[in-house]
Structure 1
Amino acid sequence: MQESDLEYLLACSPRLESFALITNYCLPDRVRIGSHSLRCVLLWHSMADEVAAIAAPHLQRLIVYCTHPTEAGRAFKVKVGYAPQLAVLGYLDTTHVLQIDNTIIKAGVTKVSPDAVVPSIKVLALKVRFRVAEEVRTLLSFLRCFPEVETLHVMASDNHTDHYDDPGEVKARDKLNSTFCQGVGPIKCVQSRVKKVVFDQFCGGTNQVGFLKMVLGRAVFLQKVIVLLADPDPITVSEATRKLNPLAAKRMWANKTLRKISLEVRGRTSGPIWGYNQASDLSISDPFIS
């Protein structure tokens, strides 16, 4: 299927509400969403190079999971144009290129222009390698583009390398920085909107703990934190709990009115726990792993 074929298909389907592209190989290389009826678009194990919501007035959900661009080293692009009802977005990987209207969001951006924010997003899922400083800075820059997020999912991918990465190169550029959260500027969604945080694939890395510490110390409306461990064996659970216990002290929280924050630490359940049926089910307000 060529890109033009897909555009023709959408143009000829004026009542289509959900569209899923699953395990496509190479073609179409770009998925451009120009539909007045679509409410949900899903790319699942896709080898496309780009997804773009260019004219999607009723699009509510854009799910991207396991993208593998055809050209080695090429970054997958997520472009958000006209999509005023888009409320759910993810997994936005910090290796992705994020473009909002005509602005490409770069790592280290501490202040975004009004044209480079998507205020409609309420549920956001991000994927990041916390041991890579550049990706951590990208994570913080991405968060600034979604000022109204209430539920934040963060998946650590420190235990994996991309299929085009050279392990030696990855190791060489991976550096821990225990103070990366010090001096981080304001992040509106964290400070004034986020109520729930789900941290998936937690393994207790210094930057992972630092990120959680920053969220707890800034999120005034935070009510619940769920930590899903990368390895649920008893030793890992014990070690993770030891590292997270200091964060349970109430003096660490920005929200002083709560008697306690629900901090859940648990391992992943066995077997498949997330699939494209659940991800595209519009009756589920939060379709991500929780």
Structure 2
Amino acid sequence: MFDQDLDYVLACSPKLEKFALISNYCLPDCIRIGSHSLRCVLIWHSLVDEVAAIAAPQLQRLILYCTNATGPGRTIRVKIGYAPQLAVLGYLDTAKHVLEIGNTIIKAKATKVSPHTLVPSVKVLALKVRFRVAEEVKTLLSFLRCFPEVETLHILASDNDTDHYDDPGKVKARDKLNSTFWHVVCPVNCVQSRVKKLVFDQFTGGTNQVGFLKWVLGRAMLLHKVIVVLADPDYITLSEAMDKLQPLSSKRMWANKLLHEPSLEIRGREAGHIWRYDRASDLSMSDPFIS
């Protein structure tokens, strides 16, 4: 199926509401969502170079799961053009995805927030980030600034992924954030005044991961629930995780002082858990991500 074939299928399906592209290999390499009926699009275990919601007035959900570019060293452009009802988006990957809103590419620290770079309709946002790479942490913050109304935030840490590293020594060299980094981060609107629930998946106990959690807890005025899902025991044991996370359960660490008792839940990943595409496309579920 070539790009123009997919365009033709969508053009000829005026009542189509859900579309899933699963395990495609390079073709189509550019997925243009131009449909007045589509409400849900899933790109699943696929090789693509671009996913663009160019004219999708009814689109509510855009899911990208385990996607890769069509060649080594390449990235996937995720473009949000006209999608005024888009409420659920993810996983945006700070390593693999180039986010473009309107005609602006969102870069770490380099992009100024403006009405042209905001997507206020998104309420559930999922991001994947390698916290060991400082540039990706900064990209994470830039992405968050583009979605000012997010109420549920999912963070998938991929620090245990080594596919992108040629030399383990380089990992340590790039694990550098200034000791005062989280204290001087400019305000992020959704974190300050909208986020009510945070799910942090694949927690390994890294310094930058803990720093991020402390930053969110200390800034999020409406946050009332945090779920931390531990990575495989090969990366962190329950006792190690408790040592790092126990201080965060103290009420004084939370910006939301109205809470009678902060809700910090620590979980292990369920054995054999599979995130199903039929669940992800079930529009009756407001949040299709792992929680």
Q: Normalising by structure 1, what TM-score?
A: 0.96
1:155-177 per-residue CA deviation (whole Å, 9 max, x = no partner) reads 00000034x64245852652243
How far apart in 2 are the matches of 1:150 and 1:201? 21
Unaligned runs of 5+ in 2: none
Query: How big is the shift at 1:236?
Result: 1.0
The 1-side partners of 2:169 and 2:20 are apart by 35
8 A contact 2:205–2:236 mirrored in 1: no
What's 2:191 paired with? 190
Residue 150 of structure 1 contacts residue 195 of structure 1 at CA under 8 Å; is this kept in 2?
yes
**RMSD, matched Cα:** 1.6
Equivalent pair of 1:237/1:266 in contact (CA under 8 Å):
no
Task: Identify the residue that residue 158 of structure 1 maps to in structure 2.
Answer: 159
Task: Quote the residue 2:24 is aligned against.
Answer: 24
Matches within 5 A, 1:166-177: 166-168=166-168, 170-171=170-171, 173-177=173-177
Which residue does 2:37 correspond to in 1? 37
Q: Distance in 2 between matches of 1:170 and 1:153?
A: 27
Kindly report which structure 2 residues correspond to 1:42-57, keeping only aligned pairs within 5 A, or say none: 42-57=42-57
After TM superposition, list the pairs within 5 Å mapping 1:132-147 onto structure 2.
132-147=133-148
Task: Name the CA distance, whole Å, in 1 between partners of 2:162 and 2:286.
Answer: 31
Percent of residue pairs identical: 72
Does the aligned pair in 1 maintain the 2:89–2:125 contact within 8 Å? yes
Stretch deviating more after TM superposition (104-113 or 230-239): 230-239
| Correspondence for 1:149 | 150
Q: How far apart are 1:249 and its partner, in Å? A: 1.5
Are 1:111 and 1:144, in contact at CA under 8 Å, matched by a contact in 2?
A: no
Check conservation: 1:39, 1:61, Cα contact below 8 A.
Answer: yes
SS in 2 for 1:181: helix
Paired letter, 1:216 = L
Q: Give, as a single letter, the amino acid of the residue that structure 2 aligns with 1:91.
A: Y
Matched, 1:6 2:45: no
Q: Residues 110 and 68 of structure 1: is their aligned pair in 2 closer, same or farther, counting only changes over 3 Å? A: closer
- 2:13 counterpart SS class: coil
Determine if contact 2:221/2:256 at 8 Å carries over to the other structure: yes
The CA distance in 1 between the partners of 2:137 and 2:77, in whole Å, is 18
Whether the aligned pair in 2 keeps the contact of 1:117 and 1:146 (CA below 8 Å) is yes
Single out whichever of 151-160 and 254-263 deviates more from structure 2.
Answer: 254-263
Task: Map 1:1-290 onto structure 2 (within 5 A).
Answer: 1-95=1-95, 96-109=97-110, 111-162=112-163, 165-168=165-168, 170-171=170-171, 173-177=173-177, 178-232=179-233, 236-290=237-291
Is contact 1:192–1:221 with CA below 8 Å preserved after alignment? yes
Instruction: Decide which moves more: 55-64 or 231-240.
Output: 231-240
Aligned-partner residue type, residue 106 of structure 1: K
Q: What is the CA–CA distance in structure 1 between the aligned matches of 2:55 and 2:15, rounded to whole Å?
A: 15
With the length of structure 2 as denominator, give the TM-score of the two structures: 0.95
Structure 2 CA distance, aligned partners of 1:144 and 1:98? Answer: 12
What secondary structure is seen at the aligned counterpart in 2 of 1:213?
helix
Alignment length (residue pairs):
289
Partners of 2:224 and 2:42 lie apart in 1 by: 29
The one-letter amino acid of 2:218's match is G
Q: Any unmatched runs of 5+ in structure 1?
A: none
Distance across 2 between alignment mates of 1:227 and 1:110:
30
CA distance in 1 between counterparts of 2:222 and 2:103 reads 32
Contact 2:197 2:223 in 1 (8 A): yes
Q: Tell me the CA shift for residue 231 of structure 1.
A: 2.1
